[in-house]
Structures are given as C-alpha cells and as structure tokens.
Amino acid sequence: MDAILVVNAGSSSLKFQIFTVSCSALTRQVRGQLDGIGQRPRLRASDAKRASLIDLTFQRDEVPDLPSAIDRVRTWLRGLEGFRLMAIGHRVVHGGPDYAAPTVIDRALLDKLATYVELAPLHQPNNLLPIRLAMEIDPDVPQIACFDTAFHRDHPAQADCYALPLAFHQEGIRRYGFHGLSYEYVSERLRETFPDHATGRVIIAHLGSGASMCALLDGRSVESTMGFTALDGLPMGTRPGQLDPGVVLHLIMQKGMSAEAVSKLLYHEAGLKGLSGISSDMRDLLGSDDPRAAFAIDHFVYRCALNIGSLMAALGGIDAMVFTAGIGENAPELRKRIVDRMAWLGAELDSAANTAGSALISTSGSRVALHVIPTDEELMIARHTLRLLDIPQ
C-alpha cells in the first residue's frame, strides 16, 4: 500500500505515524513514539485499532540521544510489511520570514532552515536532524517540511511588527506565532463539527508543556500569544512566557550571567518548573498539596485569562473558545478555573460535560460556546504532504 510517514521529533521524544493513501482518504495505520530519550527510553506503537505492535524499554545508554532514537525507530519500521513509502512529512517549528506554506525539502532549504535554530533552539535542531538522516538513507523519497509558523503568516503588518526600527522587521525580527499545525487542524475540525461556531470570533487555547493561544476570525489566524520565539505569551512547562526584556538585560548586565546561561534559564528552568520548584508537569502540580504548586497553577490560570482579554481585543469580542493539547484536553479542573475567569463574558460551563471531556462543554445558556477538541498535528502534516505532492485523496 502507498504510504506517508509523518515524523515529529523533539528533544526527548520521536513521534511517528504511517498513513496509507487511497483514492479518497488517508487512513492511519501505525501510531508510535520513542520517548524518554536519554532518561527512560521506551518505544511504543499501535495499529489502526489501537492494538499494541511494540512496547519495548531500553537502558539509558542504549538510547542516549535523538540520533540513536531515530536509528531504533528506523530499524523497527523496516520490519513492517505492506507499506510502500511515497513521502515523509516533517513538523518544522520555524519557517522564518521566507516560508509560509509546506515545502519540498532540498539541501538549500535545509541549510536555510538551519539558520533559524537560534529562534527555536528546543525544537528546530531536532526537527531537522531526521530530515538530514533520511536524505542520506533514502535520497529519492520526497520530504516535506510543514511549518508551525505558516498558519499565522497572514497577520496584518501592524500585528506582527515590534516597535523597533523597520530595518529589524525587514531582517526578520517580527512576531511569527507557533503551534500553527495544531491550530489549523482544530479550526478545520471545529468547522466540521460546529460550523456555526467556526465562522465567528474564536480563541483556541493550545495548552501543554508548550502553551499558546490563537485568535481566529472565520477560521483564519489574526493574532497569537507567541511572537519572535516560542518563549513569548503564556507560562509553560519550563518557559516563562511574557517577560519584560529589561529582565534579560538585568540578568546579563547586573548579575553577570552569560547569554548561554540566560538561554538555559529561559528555556529549561523557568515556567511552571521554576515557579513551583517541583515539576514542569501540570499533572504533578494538580496532584500536589504543596502551596508552591498551587501558586504556579494560579499564575498559569491568571495569565491565560489576561491573554484571552488581549485576543478578544484583536477580535472585537468572542463567540467560541476551544481547549486543546495535553492540558487543554485532559485537565477539566484547569478548564473550569479558566472559564470561571470568563464569567464576566457570560461563559457558563456544563460541569458534567467538562468532566467527561465532551466536545461541547458550555451550557445552553452560555454566551460563549466552549469546546474541547483533541489536536492532531500528524494528520495535518499528512494532509499537507498529499496536497503538495498532488496525490489524489
């Protein structure tokens, strides 16, 4: 069967999926990941019916880094029969100022994307490594880069520029926004399931270890909480979110921290982890009776509420709110606390529906429709890959 392989590589995990292609549809056949890289490596995969295909753990030194994880996954994938690989679709976090749509990858493009590593140091190097290896191993298989920044590229200039001399904007220092593949999928899914809500003023909250929100008007992004890098906006697992740039200057000029030390602080030691001193994982914080955990949660909810107000200003109001990603999909208590701060808007939560994680979690009398929609970035990548290669769907 003709198949598309989708790869989503991170610093501690390698996610992959296989979709077969027929004349009318994409069908997910394999879903897997190797996570805990360098710590507690575990390779898991399941078939289309969610039956386990493999569940294998390794010693830390057996899978110490992403290249070794790629080799383990590639070896296992080679043992699968019945698939003829047509193309590989990759999530690439940053497309910079030049790439606003999925693109076939060649050496020149790969070198260009490498120049954006400093804009997304947690993600970009890991996104590009599987592409380089696949080019060496299977040079004849087309590879497609699907950018997290692309969904936001239609923003008006006044929304995407900083109040800096315009020469900096022309050099590419501007607000990009991220999590675009997630927002694109969720907005399409909302249009399929609740079309009346999808055409209005919608805010999608992608809440996970990386967190952001996006304002959409008739399904198109008009504003995002993230900007030049994925450090901006909401507090995250290990990233602080919105931060006065004067703090960075103070750390360098007054406390004598190097740029590398500040980068480590902002990308790895801040956010929920830094604020609580306990964990970057919201599940751990929700399950803790430590007051520091409660404080970190309070901060997260407060900043979410502030950013909803900001995005409403860009939209001129709000008709619907959608929760997605790890926290957004799986933490009803967090959803409740955020919606409680939206009571002044007339938002009313259906407690039973919220606990169940239903697609619609607002009451019939709520002035704001409230939704939970699981995201599916891998399916979005597969769709883009098909469209770009002009393969019948």
Is 148 an active-site residue? yes
- Angle, alpha carbons 219-221-225 (nearest 5°): 135
Which residue is listed with tokens 């610093």? 11
Q: How far apart are CA 260 and CA 265, in angstroms?
A: 9
Q: Are strands 13-21 and 201-207 parallel, antiparallel or unpaired?
A: unpaired
Sign of CA dihedral 318, 96, 151, 155: positive
Residues in the chain, overall count: 393
Sign of CA dihedral 155, 156, 157, 160: negative
Q: How far apart are CA 330 and CA 341, in angstroms?
A: 19
- Angle, alpha carbons 357-286-36 (nearest 5°): 90
Backbone angles phi, psi at 3, to 5 degrees: -145, 150
Coil/strand/helix, residue 44: strand
Which strands make up the sheet holding 13-21, listed edge to edge?
A: 52-57, 42-47, 26-35, 13-21, 2-9, 84-92, 143-147, 103-104
CB 17 within 8 A of CB 30: yes
Q: Which of 148, 160, 232, 376 is catalytic?
A: 148
Buried b (16+ CB within 10 A) or exposed e, 83-118: beebbbbbbbbbbbbebeebbebeeebbeebeebee
CA atoms within 13 A of residue 133's CA, in its CB half-sphere: 18
Q: How far apart are CA 86 and CA 68, in angstroms?
A: 24
Give the residue numbers annotated as catalytic, written as ranges: 148
